[in-house]
Amino acid sequence: MAETADCVGQEPHPVDDDFFKEPMKKRRRSDRDQRFRAFPSVEQSTLKEYEKLESRTRRVLSNTYQKLIQSVFLDDSIPNGVKYLINRLLALIEKPSLDPIYIGLFGSTGAGKSSLINAIIQQAMFLPVSGESICTSCIVQVSSGCCEWYEAKIHLLSNQEWKQELKNLTKLLHRPEQLGREEEDAWDRDDAVEEAIWKLQMVYGNGVERKSYEELLRAKPKGKIPTSRVITLKAEEAGELSLKLDPYIRTQRRGWDGGSAETQIWPLIKLVEVTLPKSELIPEGVVLVDIPGTGDFNSKRDEMWRKTIDKCSVIWLISDIERVSGGRAHEDLLNESIKACQRGFCRDMALVVTKTDKLHLPEYLRERKVGSQAIQSQREAVLERNEMIKLQRNKVLKEKLKRKLPTDSRVLEDSELVYTVSAQEYWQQALLTEEETEIPKLREYIRRRLLDKKRRMVTKYVTEAFGLFLLTDSFSCTDNLPNEYLHVNGLRRFVEEKIQLLEKAIDQCFAHIVQPLQEGVQNARSSYRQILGACLVRSRGNQGFHQTLKAVCLKNGIYASRTLGRIDLNEAITQPIYEQIDPVFGGIFRSGKPSDGSALMPHIDAFKRSLQEKMTEIGIRNGWKYDSYKKSFLIQEISAILGGLEGHILRKKRRIYESLSTSVQNDLKPCYEEAAQITGKKACERMKDVLRRGLDRQVDEGMFERAQERMQHQFHQLKNGITEKVKGSVTTMLTLAWSQGDGLYKELADVKSECKEMEKLHRSLREVAENALLRRGMQDFLLRMSPSKSGPPKTWI
């Protein structure tokens, strides 16, 4: 999910050059129709209705904006109410039609992420695939658009970012002069050393690993690096673009030399964006993201890796059938996925088991413990095994999610958390039908998420636009009373009292985290030595770990290795705290309504309802008409203002969640820096000793208690941010609602036709929703009545 802009704290802006700028031009009808090609006809009809409703709303908003701009263009002084209205109109006009849905495919090397994307987009070898080694070397995003060409944009590290990586790589390759034979052998086998040499040789050629940082700065890369640091590739056909793209994103084997200039700059690539033209399988608005499993040694790429995971609203954990039953790599990736639900925008996740056609029939029959019916074929065995995997993994996954997430989390409501797919069988269909490969089911999953998001977005958009037109009517409303001033002040006092109550409720909500934090800190104090010891034992003792440990220290406790996996000392040390707070933390940011007051959003919803009820009460008591424009505007605008808080809260959530490990990392930074400088004999043991002593010292000085305080401070800042935004926005709104005496313009009368049109559009929301429900019911009925599509594939002679 992309970040949602704040809709709160919008004080009237002074008039400047941007005030009179033109809104975005509307999308052409032919382009709009192309967006629906990936949907069945029933869903296309629903989407077209919502699209038409949105388009007409944008047109009404744009016409109103132009009329208001023309009416005030030559005036020296513009009333606050008109400024507010014009700015809000422009914000709605330029609001994106739909924020992309990012679906992250997260899995270890060889899990089949690229093969799965290829099958979903119906392009067999579009992204490079390999079952034997790491294939995709960077984050790759695949989406569809209304363009005519296949296009790829390859984003490179900036010059400064590459210089920083060069500096770290040359530090890793600085070989101490006085090493014993055993230490020299261990140094040569070190994972970090091998990877550093590999990268430098790819960019600059053989022998460069012996050059200094200054010499490498003067060296010329073998490949051409554009000054823009962006490479754009275009092609008319998918296969043509695939050939052009392959050398940029395929990881080359170590020890390999030669090849094209493109293969020689892949260590500089941090992101690849691929756009498909007018896809009939992937709807516009969905981005499939191939995410490497461990992150990267380069700070910028590693930061992008983490941020990419966090912005995904859906995560598919990809694991092949032979690794799904356990193993450290699978568990690490599952834990990282769950953390994305805690700290990021992720609301949905699933386990996608790949390569499910792989089965050795005699072995399966010998070990088979379920079912009395005899297995007659390889196909029957694969289908039975897949169903068994679904039942087992669905139960295990739900149990783990329940321990980490609130009980009312959306992901726990899904009956189906596990999919068993086979990209190979999707193309060959030797054993399974297309439906049985479950590739079509994943496409349906994507369409369902997009359709639901579009429905919610248009409903919110039309409702918010309708609220603005109620404001224009409230300007000319005759409901004013002689004691209007008293009502404004009374409402302000009411709002201030409710904000104070909201502050207390938020304090009580956030207080639920204190005890788990304290318990977690005690657990961390008692277990940190054992955790650090486990992190410092890799490979065979110190063999092949000397420079890897130095890499960890150079990167302040974090090293992402393509072979050893991700090492994060800061996160490991704080894990006992996270284990204690995770369920409570998730509960604070849940959307449900727990009875213990532990969730934040219900308190904000209660505040909203109390204001809306007060508006209704004042209207009834003081003679406003039941359908008073003023009352309706206030109720609608309160919803818009407080609804915008959710995006603000989600953005702050990540910083709060990561504050524990960030605090520990900052406190341990001097230890990491000291250890990174160590060279010579027994350097590995000496580095470990520095880390142990440094960690002991920091713990004795209250490192975990400081981390607790910093997290609680972040919660306090969030509370202050919420109340300040609410107070400023609601106060401004109340002032505007009673601003008829501010010399407002008779020219506003010329938007009455737009007001009537907007009212019709708002009423039609219910009709569109009812039509969608009716179509879905008819579709389900026809599917139930139609013959089953399942069964063995046809044999062609």
CA distance 97 to 55: 9
121 falls in which pLDDT band (50, 70, 90)?
A: very high
Find the mean pLDDT for residues 265-292.
88
Check: CB of residue 144 under 8 Å from CB of residue 278. yes
**Count of structural domains, the chain:** 2
Find the mean pLDDT for residues 107-116.
87
Local structure of 105: helix, strand or coil: strand
Q: Tell me if 597 is assigned to some domain.
A: yes
Reading the block at residue 615, the tokens are 């508006």
pLDDT at res. 286: 93
Interval 543-601: pLDDT, tens: 557 788 888 999 999 988 766 678 899 999 999 999 999 989 988 987 666 556 788 88
Find the mean pLDDT for residues 78-106.
86
Domain hosting 45: range is 40-96
Local structure of 769: helix, strand or coil: helix
302 pLDDT above the threshold of 80: yes
Lowest mean pLDDT among 462-476, 536-550, 665-679: 536-550
Interval 126-160: pLDDT, tens: 988 765 555 566 889 999 887 889 999 999 999 99
Lowest mean pLDDT among 23-37, 87-101, 119-133: 23-37
CA distance 451 to 71: 39
pTM of the model: 0.84
Check: CB of residue 463 under 8 Å from CB of residue 54. no
End-to-end CA distance of the chain: 49
More confident residue, 642 or 603: 603
260 falls in which pLDDT band (50, 70, 90)?
A: low
CA distance 568 to 609: 45
| Last residue in a domain, options 49, 74, 96 | 96
Instruction: Strands of 40-87 (E only): list them.
Output: none
Which residues lie across from 103 on neighbouring strands?
288, 314
72 falls in which pLDDT band (50, 70, 90)?
A: confident
658 falls in which pLDDT band (50, 70, 90)?
A: very high
Local structure of 320: helix, strand or coil: strand
Interval 667-713: pLDDT, tens: 999 999 999 998 878 888 899 999 999 999 999 999 999 999 999 99
Interval 29-71: pLDDT, tens: 455 556 677 787 788 888 889 999 999 999 999 999 988 888 7
Give me the torsion for CA of 151, 157, 158, 164, rounded to 10°: 180
Q: Tell me if 361 is assigned to some domain.
A: no
622 falls in which pLDDT band (50, 70, 90)?
A: low
More confident residue, 185 or 310: 310
Q: What is the CB neighbour count within 10 angstroms for residue 612?
A: 17
Q: Tell me if 496 is assigned to some domain.
A: yes
Q: Tell me if 110 is assigned to some domain.
A: no
**Average pLDDT of the chain?**
81
Which residues lie across from 230 on neighbouring strands?
155
Kind and range of the H or E run holding 272: strand 269-277
The DSSP code sequence of 738-767 is T-GGGT--GGGGGGHHHHHHHHHHHHHHHH
pLDDT at res. 643: 73
pLDDT at res. 27: 47
| Last residue in a domain, options 54, 71, 96 | 96
Find the mean pLDDT for residues 652-656.
91
pLDDT at res. 373: 74
CA distance 590 to 601: 7
Q: Which amino acid is it at 370? A: V
pLDDT at res. 338: 87
666 pLDDT above the threshold of 70: yes
The residues near 509 (Cβ < 8 Å, ≥ 6 apart) are 588, 597, 598, 599, 600, 603
pLDDT at res. 155: 94
CA distance 338 to 791: 36
Candidate ranges 142-146, 171-175, 255-259; pick with highest mean pLDDT: 142-146
| Last residue in a domain, options 749, 771, 792 | 749
Interval 223-253: pLDDT, tens: 889 999 999 999 999 999 999 998 888 766 5
The gap from C-alpha 624 to its chain's centroid, in whole angstroms, comes to: 45
Q: Tell me if 576 is assigned to some domain.
A: yes
pLDDT at res. 615: 74
Candidate ranges 94-98, 504-508, 679-683, 704-708; pick with highest mean pLDDT: 704-708
Sheet holding 269-277, edge to edge: 230-235, 150-156, 269-277, 139-145, 286-291, 101-107, 314-320, 348-354, 418-420
Interval 174-218: pLDDT, tens: 766 555 565 565 555 667 788 888 889 889 988 888 899 999 999
More confident residue, 314 or 644: 314
2 pLDDT above the threshold of 50: no
Spell out the SS3 assignment of 577-631: HHHHHHHHHHHHCCCCCCCCCCCHHHHHHHHHHHHHHHHHHHHHHCCCCCCCHHH
pLDDT at res. 746: 47
Using CA atoms, how far residue 91 sits from 25, 598, 640, in Å, is 14, 34, 13
Interval 354-399: pLDDT, tens: 999 999 888 888 887 666 678 889 999 999 999 999 999 999 999 8
Lowest mean pLDDT among 240-254, 440-454, 528-542: 528-542
661 pLDDT above the threshold of 80: yes
Q: How many CA atoms lie within 13 A of 155 on its CB side?
A: 13
| Dihedral pair phi/psi, residue 222, rounded to 5° | -70, -35
Reading the block at residue 366, the tokens are 């010998």
Report the interhelical angle of 41-72 vs 752-785 (nearest 10°).
Answer: 170
Q: Tell me if 244 is assigned to some domain.
A: no
Check: CB of residue 382 under 8 Å from CB of residue 356. yes
Query: Would residue 292 be called left, alpha or beta, if left means φ above 0 and alpha means ψ between -120 and 50 degrees?
Result: beta
pLDDT at res. 1: 39
Which residues lie across from 106 on neighbouring strands?
291, 317
pLDDT at res. 189: 60
pLDDT at res. 25: 46
Q: Tell me if 375 is assigned to some domain.
A: no
Reading the block at residue 231, the tokens are 């490479």
What percent of the chain shows pLDDT beyond 90?
37
Q: Tell me if 12 is assigned to some domain.
A: no
Using CA atoms, how far residue 654 sits from 55, 344, 650, in Å, is 34, 6, 7
Check: CB of residue 249 under 8 Å from CB of residue 269. yes
12 falls in which pLDDT band (50, 70, 90)?
A: very low
526 pLDDT above the threshold of 90: yes
